Structure 1
Amino acid sequence: MQLPVMPPVKPMLAKTHAGVPRDPGLLFEPKWDGFRCIVFRDGDTVELGSRNDRPLTRYFPELVDLLKEALPERCVVDGEIVIVTGQGLDFDTLQNRLHPAESRVRKLAKETPASFVAFDLLALGDEDVTGKPFRERRALLESMLDASELQRVHLTPLTDDPDVAQDWFTRFEGAGFDGVMAKSADLSYQQDKRVMLKIKHE
């Protein structure tokens, strides 16, 4: 694997904020309750890296082929692994996927398949895009992610309207969502720094 951004990557982090902020220039996303995951794809090689450098690839083999279909040949994408049920997101079932036995991993991959939600882009082709503002990274992510035919690879919703963000915050509570994320449209990708805002349900 040879990418302009190589593992391990420390994901960009957030600090807690009370209430949905209304500062100009902020963009909002739902806060997903899952495993933070950096996807590295170089041709046929796909690696799923976790927030704490623990490789997740072996635990979610069903995502590898899906991500090969959804992503361009060479890229690095930040997102969240989740398990979606009829009642919302199920974090307990997701935790149960981290099983040491390979036979059990394969069984659970079929019984409780995971989904991937993309929300940021770190590299595309030979270019490291972490220095670009978030609005540009998001536009690139939208243009390259082929999620139309793939029910378990998603692009996270995004809005610049704090009223919509407040509606998400209220409406998604109890469905496995943690709250809302806010980040500046001008924000570069800063590894391991708390430069985003998270508005969490109490």
Structure 2
Amino acid sequence: MDVTTWYLEQTSRSDLLPAGRPAIEAGIVRAEVVSPEFSRFLYTAVGGDWQWTDRLRWTWREWEDLLGGGVETWVAYHRGTPAGYVELTPGRDASVEITCFGLMSWATGRGLGGRLLEVGTARAWDLADRHEDREPTRRVWLHTCSLDGRHALANYRARGFRVYDVIHGAPGDEDEGVTPGPWPGAGPRSPTTEGPRDGDRRECRPR
């Protein structure tokens, strides 16, 4: 399946626009301990419905190398339960990429996606405050595609991200294996029966 991929960016901290208050209370905190087990759980739990497959073959050591390389994981919790997460990957050019972003299926449709993206983007902008070897962030960027949740692109734009490039006809990744989530059939809803949900993100790898 051919897909369209949009690349979006912010080039100033002032580009970030606030989100409305979500319908459920959520605390968003950084997972400061390097934990491949926890990160893989988040990856499968959020990405299971959206064909996130790239990292399923990774070894424990590969997960540890990723997390120990300056990547930050910010997790949203509702009443002590993980609701979604944002993964921030610093680049060599004072940029930060939002490499993973999404919600658990039970947390979607409640306005939490906008709030999580707002906080995650703010933490990308002040990432150097927590890492002495980093220069101040000059750019925050991400990409999304036409296989993503139907509100994803609008959510990014509503937070102040601007499209700077579009690739049409990039190959999709829908044939790369089964993504069971935490276990096969997990989640009260499925995009195969109800369509994409607000706040979800999948990996869309361009050419």
What is the TM-score of this pair, normalised by structure 1? 0.33
Structure with the larger strand share? 1
